[in-house]
Each structure stands twice: as C-alpha cells, then as structure tokens.
Amino acid sequence: MSGHPRFHLAVPVDDLDAARAFYGDLLGCPQGREADTWVDWDLYGHQLVTHLVPRAADRVAGRNPVDGHDVPVPHFGVLLGVEDFHLLAGRLRDAGVRFVIEPHLRFAGLPGEQWTMFFLDPAGNALEFKAFTDDAAVFRR
C-alpha cells in the first residue's frame, strides 16, 4: 500500500440511523459502502465500519487515570491539527454533545503536550480526538 498507513476499525452500534447522524452529519465523515447491518465511514482517511449489533450493557470496560482525568477504555479517535481540533470541539459543543472529558490542554509544557477531548457516540463507544501542539512530539518521551 502506498502513502501513509491507515487503520481499519469496526465498532458496534445499535442504531444505524443514529450512527449516520453522528458520524456523517455531526462529525462530517463521508459515507462509503453499506449493507443492511453495517456502514463504512471515511474517518479522516481511515476506514471506520459501524456494525449493527444488539446493545451491550456498557461499551466502556473501565477507566484509567491520565493527567488528572479518568480516561474511558476502550476508546478510539484521530489525531487532528490544532485548528481542526478546535473547530470540531466547537461543532460538538454547538450540537449539545456531552463530553466525558471536556476539551483541554493535557501535559502542558511537557513532551507530548496535546489538546484532547473524549465523548461517546450514540451507541456508547468512547472517542478521543486530540491535537499535539508539536506534531513531532507524538511519540516523544
């Protein structure tokens, strides 16, 4: 495969129309192929597939402390540029999305300084979107 690496992620949802409204309309992900039980999404160049399955009791298995916040696990998301991060955070706020962890600057002044936010999709899957203040610091120790 040429170009930069991409990931493929499949997540459970219990309502494909709610997934379309959330991933397509709110997050602005272009829709790809679909069938009666799944929909493909272009999540910033990565393939996200929402699969229709019955609702589990709680999709968040646990939480881990990170920089003073309880981070939901499992979670997935995308690294954005700082400007795109703030635009998305504003769009989510305007839509009334309830944040698990409000958009904020994490590890300020340290290696890996980043803007981060956590929220749930309509099926209860945890998402984290973040933006490093220095893209070269993504894996800096």
Instruction: Classify residue 2: in a domain, yes or no.
Output: no
pLDDT digits (tens, 9 = 90+) for 41-97: 999 999 999 999 987 667 788 899 998 999 999 999 999 999 999 999 999 999 999
CATH of the domain at 66: 3.10.180.10
Q: Which residue has the higher pLDDT, 32 or 59?
A: 32
pTM, two decimals, is: 0.90
Tokens of 87: 């635009």
Contact 49, 37 (CB under 8 A): no
**Burial class for 112, CB neighbours closer than 10 Å (0-12, 13-18, 19+):** middle
Q: What is the distance between the alpha carbons of residues 53 and 33, in angstroms, rounded to a whole number? A: 18
**Other CB atoms closer than 10 Å to residue 22's CB: what's the count?**
24
Q: Are residues 131 and 78 in the same domain?
A: yes
- Domain interval for residue 44: 8-52
